Structure 1
Amino acid sequence: MLETDVRNGVTEWLLDSDPAIRWQVMRDLLNAPEAEWQKERAKIEAEGWGAKLFSVQDEDGQWAGGAFVPADFTEQKWREEGQAWTSTCWTLAQLRQFGLPPECACARRTVRLIGDNSRWDHAGQRYWDGEVEECINGRTVADGAYFGVDVSPIVERLLGERQEDGGWNCERANGSEVSSFHTTINVLEGLLEYERHGGATPQTQDARRSGEDYLLRRNLFRRLSTGEVADEAFLKLSYPNRWRYDVLRALNYFRDASAFDGTSPDPRLAEAIGYVRSRQLPDGRWVQDWSPRGRVWFEIGDGDGQPSRWITLQALRVLDWWDKASP
């Protein structure tokens, strides 16, 4: 546990930020009254990072002219620059993670225009009908459910695409018969958001349990076959994660799922919790290890190797959740 003065210093540092972070600090770390953090949350539409994203929105409701990649993007640019993060799907996911109130005017307008105008790059599918890849569809379910869209047909598709080991893999269509950490966390987050907004069924609950078990049996980052670290990148902390998996992203999912389900933390999370705790700096903060290459509208942190407000917020609320539940 942090000394009180260190914890207070970290909290002040977190509050000296954007409304997208401040309201979550108020709710999750300070237990502020709902009226107070909702007032702060309402600022996202017109101030800071949220307002910046809306300032670069296309007239047709999209961003950068495309659903998954910008309209002007090419394979050569992908090779030279890395994957672009400025298109519609990534921007919508970011606004959801900021906590943009789904009932605000900008959100309602955006959802309607995207439904009218945006088409997936794969085969021109309507945006809110989803695509063929499980990672993309998992995020589309999360965004759609959050912003009040009926995404039940995409959910039904995902339920039928589970692998025998309990998770999902976007390479299934190419013959993969085992699940992926990356795809599984994207689908789990989508299913949880869908259930949070009234879509829970025995089928979604069963699918979520099997996906959770896939990760838990691997202690969130180990190979089931050998117990070795499945990918060293899973232990490198980053935000925004985009489509990528890491242990802190998974722990935040399990925290959210625990709150929704009314359950205690699973003991199999202990090793991942210990790892995240070990990464805390003496001043109470956490560092951003790396960032994926590619276009962004703007940076929302101080860079790799520097303390990150997003990662610190996520780590503190996960550890608070775990510690409060521990005897």
Structure 2
Amino acid sequence: MKRDRTAVIDALLKSDEPSVRWKVITRVVGEDPESRKVRQLQEEIRTSARTRALIAGRDRKFIREAHVYATWRGAHWTLAMLAEIGYPAGDESLLPMRDQVLDRWLDSSFYMEFESKSAVPKNRSAEGVPIIQGRYRRCGSQQGNALYSITRLGLADKRSDGLAERLMHWQWPDGGWNCDRKPSAHISSFNESLLPMLGLAAHAERAKDNTARAAALKASEVFLSRRLFKSKTDGKVISPHWVRPKYPRYWHYDMLGGLVAMAEMGLINDPRCADALDLLERKELPKVGWAAQGRFYKVSTSMDTSAKFGSISTVDWGGAGNARRNEWVTADALYVLRAAGRV
């Protein structure tokens, strides 16, 4: 049943944060993403304080290869968050960061592989992707996230197509990816499979690559067959963390992230999304929106690259708290409910 959430939508449309307004205008209200109004809003995003903080310090020292994946301030994560907040596509000033990311995730070691019969390969110095029990043990979320963000930012080219090739090469029989080196691991990881699925779907749309589209749809069954958060065997919640929405999710999975992915891929009306949609509606704070029930980051504006990073973000994403609205989580929730015909 559709619910009237006009007051919540209106509140987000008045947000001080242009990226929140962009999410709502394009994904909930339904404004044409190519309209003059949206383009003007994206220019506001380009020059916003949030964007300046995300990009700040991107000199050669800061984005050297060793820091590409620094949590959560390396070039990898900066591109991911710029894509997430609606930064305008095709900005060539981002090319140095893109190239740093591609250098890392298309390194020659990712084209090498070796067989192993144990969780810890006997040759610990061996470079390459291990194959255990016939399955590639690779953290696909890394190449997947890079492919997704680079494509959404309009920076994809023939070189970034190599990310899609690697992901399809490593895909498991059930459709996903997993870097668990235990020989007993035989089911794909939700954490490692969501971003490769989205990356391949975005790549398939840009490159008109039917093989990549098929691979993305195959990956979607990892989630849909488990109703996005339930065990196939007994129907119980697989992880309590998955039913507590957070923002940003970075490489972590939760059921709201799963729903956003299904909406982006045009699969939100699959009946197997219904349980997650129902749960999302039950989590709604009356006349307010949705809360972030936890977070993965700490906020620091320091650009001291000599210190250990930890899980540091240069911007605040609205914090967490079970009884207060988080604008980012609310915007995502409204998007999937609108896509499912529930708004």
TM-score range relative to shorter protein:
0.7 to 0.9
- 2:261 is aligned to 253
Q: 1:123–1:195: structure 2 CA closer, same or farther, 3 Å change rule?
A: closer
SS in 2 for 1:290: coil
Q: Root-mean-square deviation (CA), in Å? A: 2.9
Of residues 260, 266, 272, the one that matches 1:268 is 272
SS in 2 for 1:29: helix
* Cα drift, residue 177 of structure 1: 2.4
Q: 1:217–1:120: structure 2 CA closer, same or farther, 3 Å change rule?
A: closer
- 1:219 is aligned to 227
State whether structure 2 residue 142 is matched by structure 1 residue 143: no
- 1:299 is aligned to 316
- 2:77 is aligned to 90
State whether structure 2 residue 43 is matched by structure 1 residue 42: yes
- After TM superposition, what 4+ stretches of structure 1 lie above 4 angstroms from structure 2? 120-126, 172-175
Q: 1:289–1:115: structure 2 CA closer, same or farther, 3 Å change rule?
A: closer
Q: Percent identity over the alignment?
A: 21
Equivalences for residues 43-192 of structure 1 within 5 A:
43-59=44-60, 62=63, 66-69=67-70, 84-108=71-95, 110-112=97-99, 114=100, 119=104, 133-146=139-152, 147-150=155-158, 151-171=160-180, 176-192=185-201
CA contact (8 A) 1:101 1:107 kept: no
* Cα drift, residue 173 of structure 1: 8.6
CA contact (8 A) 2:12 2:20 kept: no
* Cα drift, residue 178 of structure 1: 1.6
CA contact (8 A) 1:142 1:191 kept: yes
Could you tell me which runs of 5 or more consecutive residues in structure 2 were left unpaired when the two chains were aligned. Answer: 112-127, 130-137, 298-310
Corresponding letter in the other structure for 1:296: S
Alignment partners' CA distance in 1, 2:205 and 2:61: 29
* Cα drift, residue 60 of structure 1: 5.9
CA contact (8 A) 2:76 2:101 kept: no
Equivalences for residues 301-316 of structure 1 within 5 A:
301-305=318-322, 306-316=324-334
**Matched residue pairs, number?**
299
Could you tell me which runs of 5 or more consecutive residues in structure 1 were left unpaired when the two chains were aligned. Answer: 70-83
Alignment partners' CA distance in 2, 1:229 and 1:115: 35
CA contact (8 A) 1:138 1:189 kept: yes
- 2:337 is aligned to 319
Corresponding letter in the other structure for 2:48: E
- 2:283 is aligned to 279
CA contact (8 A) 2:268 2:336 kept: no
TM-score, normalised with respect to structure 2: 0.78
Q: 1:156–1:104: structure 2 CA closer, same or farther, 3 Å change rule?
A: closer
- 1:72 is aligned to none
Alignment partners' CA distance in 2, 1:186 and 1:37: 26
* Cα drift, residue 321 of structure 1: 1.1
Alignment partners' CA distance in 2, 1:247 and 1:205: 22
* Cα drift, residue 166 of structure 1: 2.1
Alignment partners' CA distance in 2, 1:182 and 1:49: 26
CA contact (8 A) 1:15 1:25 kept: no
- 1:289 is aligned to 293
Residues 124-149 of structure 1: CA deviation (Å, up to 9, x unaligned): 889xxx99531211112112323223
* Structure with greater proportional helix content: 1
Q: Which moved more, 1:312-321 or 1:38-47?
A: 38-47
* Cα drift, residue 14 of structure 1: 4.4
* Cα drift, residue 55 of structure 1: 2.3
CA contact (8 A) 1:58 1:64 kept: no
